[in-house]
Amino acid sequence: MKKNFQLYFSSVCLTTALLLGLAGCGGGSSSSPGASSSPIDGAAAFPAGLAVESPVGMEVGNVTLAQASPAALFRALALALFQGDLATAKQVASRLIPVGDAHAAASRSPRYMKSANAVNALLTGATTPRTGVGFNADKFLKSPINAGCYGPTVLYQGHPNWTSGTPAATGTLPSGDVGIWTAVDTATDWVCAAAQLDARMDGVALRSNTSLMTLASLINVANTAGKSLPAVGATVDLKTEMNVAFSPDVTFTTATISQPVAGSYSYSVAFSFTHSSGTRNAEIRLSHAPGASKSEYSGLLTYAVTRGGSDLQNCNGKALGTVDVGTLKYTRTSRTAMTLVHREGNYCGAGTATPLATSYANFSTDGQLDPAGKWTGTKGWANNFNRFGAVYDPTTLKGNYTFGWQAGDLDSNSRVFNIGLNYNATTEARDGEAYFGYGDDIASSNGTIKGFICNWAGPGNSHTLRDLFQRQNISFNDTTGKWRPSLEAASSSNITYAPTNACTSAGGTFYYDKNAGSVTPASLADELAAPNPALAVDMAGLVFGATTYTSIPLAIAGRGMVVPGY
């Protein structure tokens, strides 16, 4: 009888492993002699299904959120088949094959699925750290960028707000200061709001997801070595195993899993890697608290990585280098309900102190990065600070998101995107509405847009917020793989204004490059060769439908947007 059961288990395990592309049975990769017969169930001790991605990032392929811990299910399936219980076997098998809530004809899926599944694959042993993490320095060191349609340099002539001094009456508005300038991004052919959000979040997503994958590798190598999770109050040291797994790209000085209190786990790694301009140091920590099921958990990820002296920006003359520090607070209450708060800043410092994170950055009492911790002369951030909040369904990405950033510690306002995304489970159609404007200083911002600044850096500029914001209604075209203005209609966008304090232009002798970012090289020739009529504002404001709201946050809420905390 025992022999027959083993045959059933072996055949089922082999078939399903081949189907899922697993390295071996039992959820781990090939084990060393004497390996544990009870491999670590990654989803019971790690945030399986978690990732940080631009919510509009899409990938080719109908990919769904995979299950992260098939080991127990393999055994349940084998037992059900052995007992002839086909109904139970069918139910268990459906949980083994990674099928989520999306079905049918969609040929593209949110990039989130790919990133979350990459973590899951490490937890199950479907990939090894060497191939699964695919570690390279660019994943930790990529800097934020803007899409070409957002904030291009804008040539102008005869600016009406100039009275004397600089900026001059004729000149160029600097990059990053004019918001959504053209409805569609020339380089990607995406609607601008989606193109900019995707570009802006790329670096923070790479750092967050590579951090999660590096920590998931601790479970992977522990299973390979036949090691179990630590007992309460104990620590498992995996430095040797991680150095073997990641060689020759990374050198680990710390690699541990501990269980400080019953049922909660802490992961910690510290390592160095080589970049073209020298050695970089990094540290990653995770405190994870599982819930009543594998789809319920909460925790806090913290990472820090040194950049060296090539990206000093506002730290120039204040430090020999900079350090990126980030935190990710996550709470998942069911398979379809996730809340994220991600914060990241670029801090002045040589990156030689240890521990990295607390040596250079300030943290709130709950362990999250404190955006108020600006450069004091000895400690703090001076370059980009990013904040991201999301309340969403991780199986579809339907939800509400906010992303804000501030380019320097001395800026007066944050730049903020709010976006609400819809998903139709029947048609698999994706659409939504995006809003851009300015918020409070990033240190005190709550993720809401407070208004708009039309003349951020031009002559006679004023940072007084006007009761306006930019709006784009967006739809995803599954055939082309592009986010486009809904119905391809001009009315899908309300983004037009003049870069003056009044946001309008009387025309006449004031010219500015209306198609900046979409025509190369930049020039005023086409504007100067054509009539120059007055230009009124075409942006969203306090009025929506029959309602006049008393503030821009209320006007955006009236359109259905629920801004997540960040």
User: Which pLDDT value is given to residue 565?
Assistant: 96
- 160 is written with which tokens? 């009406």
Place of tokens 């509400």: 400
Q: What angle do CA 136, 139, 142 make, to 5 degrees?
A: 125
Q: What angle do CA 212, 217, 221 make, to 5 degrees?
A: 165
Contact 190, 487 (CB under 8 A): no
User: Which pLDDT value is given to residue 79?
Assistant: 53
Q: What are 476-526's pLDDT values in tens digits?
A: 999 999 999 999 999 999 999 999 999 999 999 999 999 999 988 999 999
Place of tokens 């990013």: 386
CA distances for 341 relative to 254, 258, 290, 402, 441, angstroms: 27, 24, 18, 10, 17
- How crowded is the C-beta side of 441, counted as CA atoms within 13 Å? 12
Question: In this structure, which amino acid lies at residue 174?
Answer: P
Give the SS3 label for residue 294.
Answer: coil
User: Which pLDDT value is given to residue 10?
Assistant: 43
Dihedral angle over CA of 560, 563, 564, 566, nearest 10: 170
User: Which pLDDT value is given to residue 318?
Assistant: 82
Maximum separation of any 2 CA atoms in the chain, in Å: 95
CA atoms of 554 and 290, how far apart (whole Å): 36
Give the SS3 label for residue 319.
Answer: coil
CA atoms of 495 and 541, how far apart (whole Å): 11
Dihedral angle over CA of 80, 85, 86, 91, nearest 10: -60
Q: What are 283-329's pLDDT values in tens digits?
A: 999 999 999 999 999 999 999 999 887 778 899 888 889 999 999 99
User: Which pLDDT value is given to residue 87?
Assistant: 63
User: Which pLDDT value is given to residue 322?
Assistant: 94
Place of tokens 């349609």: 149
CA distances for 343 relative to 370, 371, 402, 405, 440, angstroms: 8, 8, 12, 10, 16
Instruction: Read off the pTM.
Output: 0.88
Buried b / exposed e over 4-14, threshold 16 CB at 10 Å, is: eeeebbeebbe
Place of tokens 């739809």: 475
Domain ranges of the chain: 2-132, 138-558
Query: Minimal CA–CA distance to 149: which of 540, 484, 486, 420?
Result: 484
The set of residues, in sequence order, having a beta carbon less than 8 Å from that of 158 and lying 6+ positions away, is 169, 170, 508, 509, 510, 511
User: Which pLDDT value is given to residue 22?
Assistant: 39
Q: Where are the beta strands (DSSP E) in 335-442?
A: 337-348, 381-392, 399-406, 414-423, 430-439
User: Which pLDDT value is given to residue 319?
Assistant: 83
Give the CA radius of gyration of the chain. 26
Contact 175, 204 (CB under 8 A): no
CA atoms of 405 and 64, how far apart (whole Å): 30
Contact 388, 566 (CB under 8 A): yes
- Number of other residues whose CB lies within 10 A of the CB of residue 170: 14
CA atoms of 338 and 188, how far apart (whole Å): 29
CA atoms of 25 and 15, how far apart (whole Å): 10
CA atoms of 420 and 432, how far apart (whole Å): 5
CA atoms of 255 and 370, how far apart (whole Å): 26
CA atoms of 186 and 148, how far apart (whole Å): 7
The set of residues, in sequence order, having a beta carbon less than 8 Å from that of 376 and lying 6+ positions away, is none
Strand partners, 391: 339, 400
User: Which pLDDT value is given to residue 125?
Assistant: 92
Give the mean pLDDT per block of 10 residues along the chain (566 residues).
Answer: 40 42 39 52 95 96 72 50 64 48 68 95 92 81 93 98 96 96 97 97 95 97 96 98 92 97 97 87 97 96 90 84 96 97 95 94 98 94 96 97 95 97 96 98 98 98 97 97 96 98 97 94 94 96 97 98 98
Place of tokens 């002296």: 309
Query: Minimal CA–CA distance to 302: which of 281, 329, 320?
Result: 329
Contact 69, 294 (CB under 8 A): yes
